[in-house]
Structure 1
């Protein structure tokens, strides 16, 4: 048995990432009871902070206690009754996850797919909506398995035109890529702390529009015995207790109806993640992520490495680097970890063993981490017998930072 004393690591994979020290300090602060007036105030403050993070006025903005997958499941199991149709456009591993969760909720799942490394056009999604006539469109904004960022800004109007609820999983994008919930007409969003928000996994911020809340209210009235389930499958009660979003909203709402014991430490962490982002400014944080991502992209390209996918639709915060044919990808990753203490990722499915995924997000979206990772990657490649330009990656990244007017570091951290 060993004490909890993790090794020093620089987490530069697709997430989780190195948590901001301010968030770690928040995690260590004293616990307070869930109905203490101070805790009630902290919950209210956290809701308001995440309205700013999401770009929404939604009253129904809360935390789901659990990892980002708990937030996904809470939204889908609560909005979708058995037999409801859901359309899931799949462009990577996490689209398949949305389809699986919706299927477990009893929904009639319809998918459309595009090649990994590509995204969907609004026309393709609208054509599928017309054909399927779903209750919910469920789509990932940024899929870290492919590093692609699906444009969402036109989808809200399409969904409204056809009477469809619009849900997106923004776990990998919020805080580092544009996301405007109200302006884009998104009805439900779930996220996580462990990527661009710079925190640990374990809390899932969720926001729900009045239109989606009305659906939850209909199902809540069945659970409360206000009316009996009818022939409409939408009248069936939600098939989860812990992830019943209607009950979670009651817990966070003015009545504070008992549902679960709030994970106080994770609430503190989530509060601080949002506060850090808003202190920096959402637009500034997005610009910082864009700069760090572009520096990493140009750095790996300067090392002579290829990049997977449509770079025009790449997320700011992750790049998929094609593994050279003359090296073993996992051996290079092991060298990065063992010799430099830096973690980078592999990928799933058709990309497993073909790309490394390198993240620049949250607290790690800054110049020193980009340069350190590129230097370590160059060294690991050379040790594996792959020829690379000496200092090429580092020079390319530093040149970009030198020519940029955007700050390369989060608030409180030197560029």
Structure 2
């Protein structure tokens, strides 16, 4: 497959041979890997920064909660801009904001500066350059027969970033300090800018849109939020964010509280990333053969059972890594069926926007998971209430996804006069 792009003022379209499907997928996966890597190591900075500045975990928890919330709130805006003007400029700006946020986090000495760097800048940066925009680009640039597996690969790449960056981050912190680790991560984010050239999507030219694609932004939103299955999908996605953010930020400290080393926490987070590669690729393949709503329901129920087993027995290095492996299989594997359902219901014209609004629900859950985790620990000295809340949300989301109807939304067809 080759991709044609028409430059303004050109007499004919220019054939861009280098952007084959393989190149698009590889570069998109590299972006997902880089953007998800540093974000997944945030939990390892909680203890060294808290010790140095005498902060409670609620201070750090609030900053990362703000990050999750703004990542979610910025996603629909980033998606709308990408849908209208193309993905390239959004990803580039996002990568620069991400790097600036990590750099400011390195120089943070007060809760306010931590909130601005790790919270505001990294949050908005992630909304512009994370795997959500990559998946949208895949949906627009790749043929339908390659789309499912590509969505799984893009999600798995984020998990590979988590697998690679978790032990890498721990090693950097142990050997060079948390400040140097953040400087290295900030520099790595700049590589996203050249990689984004491969996933550039054309701006939406109104004259070239079909009747279905000519739908306005407002009409698309009204249609989506008036559609019962989309609303159920959005509600279920809340749990995904709550569970992932809580575990990413608070699990390393939870394990240290139970007498395990920081290195064990690093390997648990790495195990989550490694096994999520398997889970995401498997779901990307399976979702073309099984109803996506059943896949989502199974994933959420599996998470609830894994959490219940983890907190019901003594926490050891082996049980923690086993929990990481099982959680990894169900970690980001919700993303391929969720994004596929959005594209199936409403098409790809406003794909980034509508998935972005679903992601807001995900990140509101993430905000609450991180924030409540810090508050509950500081008040009660234990994460137990949050673990049980995570189990409850998992069961509810498993039930919420079952009634989803997997078919395109019915639109009125214009009748000839």
Settle same-fold status: TM greater than 0.5.
no
- Greater helix percent: which structure? 2
Bigger relative contact order, structure 1 or 2 (CA pairs below 8 A, ≥6 apart): 2
Structure number with bigger Rg: 1
Query: Going by fraction, where is strand more abundant, 1 or 2?
Result: 1
TM-score by length of 2: 0.29
